[in-house]
Amino acid sequence: MQAFVPRRVSPLRRLRVDLTDGGAPSSVARRSLFVEVSSARQFHLHVGGSGMSRASRWSRRLVGAALALAVLPAAGAAQLQGFGAELAPELPGATGTGSVLAIYNPATFGLKVFANWSGLSGTTTVSHFHCCVAPPGTVGVAVTPGTLPGFPAGVFAGSYDSPIIDLSLPGSFTLGFRNNFGGGTVEGARAAFLAGAANGTNYFNIHTSTFPRGEIRGFLSPTAVPEPSTYALMATGLGVVGMVGWRRRRS
C-alpha cells in the first residue's frame, strides 16, 4: 500500500506528492510527483525517484489526474460550489449504499464528480444526474446522455472519479432536459441543473442489471468544498479499489 502525502510547494502553480512504498526495508522506494499548471491551464507531470514498478506507474497516472484537479480550481477556489448526497435504495428490493460529491467551478463551467458505492444487488450499468423533481419523485436524465463519462459498468461495488464535465457544452445535457427545463438553451439548462442541486430537486443515481430504472440514489444538497490540497487524497482513496483489483488480476 502507498501513502500519499500532498505538499504545496508554491501557491496555485505547483503541487508535490510524495509516494512511499511500504513492505520490507529493502523494497522501500520514495518517489515524488509534481504537477505544474501554466496560465493557459496546461498541466505538466514530473516524476522523480526509484523503484517504479508497473503497478506504481498505474498509481502515478491516478495521482497525476487527482493533482491536476487539485490545481485546476485553485485560482477560483472561493467560488467553487459543492453538492453532496448519501445514496440509498431507490426501489423496493433494491440494496446498496454509497455517497456522491459534485464540485462545480463557475469560472470554467466544469463539474467534477466523486462517488463510491457497495452492496448492490446487481452490477452497475449506467449513472446520471436527474433533475428537477421534489423527493421522492422521479424525473428524466439531465446530465449526461447515455451515462456519466467513464462510469464503471459491471461491478457490485466501486468508485468513480469523473473527468471534468463541461456544462457549457450542449452534449453535457440531454435534449429533453434542455427543452423542458432549460428553455432550449445550454445556459438555461445549466442554471436549472445548479438550481436543482441547490434546492434538493436534483438527484444522482446508479442503475444496475437488476434495477435498470435505478438501484440507489441521493438528492443533492449544498455541502462544503474540500480544500484543494485534499482532492488528491480523496481521489486516490477512491482509486484504491481499482488498484487492488488490478493487482489481484495480475496475481
For the chain, give every domain's residue range.
Answer: 2-75+227-250, 81-223
Which residue spans within the chain are E strands per DSSP?
Answer: 2-10, 14-21, 30-37, 43-49, 81-89, 97-105, 110-118, 124-131, 141-143, 158-161, 165-166, 202-208, 216-219, 221-223
Query: Between the CA of residue 36 and those of 8, 56, 68, 106, 192, what are the distances in Å?
Result: 11, 20, 8, 22, 34
Which amino acid, residue 99? S
pLDDT (0 to 100) of residue 233: 52
pLDDT (0 to 100) of residue 226: 79
How many angstroms separate the most distant Cα atoms in the chain?
63
pLDDT (0 to 100) of residue 230: 59
CB 49 within 8 A of CB 32: yes
pLDDT in tens, 107-160: 999 999 999 999 999 999 999 999 999 999 999 999 999 999 999 999 999 999
Listed as ranges, residues in the chain with pLDDT below 70 are 1-78, 228-251
Classify 81-223 by CATH class.
mainly beta
Q: Nine-digit cell at 101?
A: 460529491
Backbone Cα Rg of the chain: 19
Burial 98-118 (b: 16+ CB within 10 A, else e): bebbbbbbeebbbbbbbbbbb
- pTM of full prediction above 0.75: no
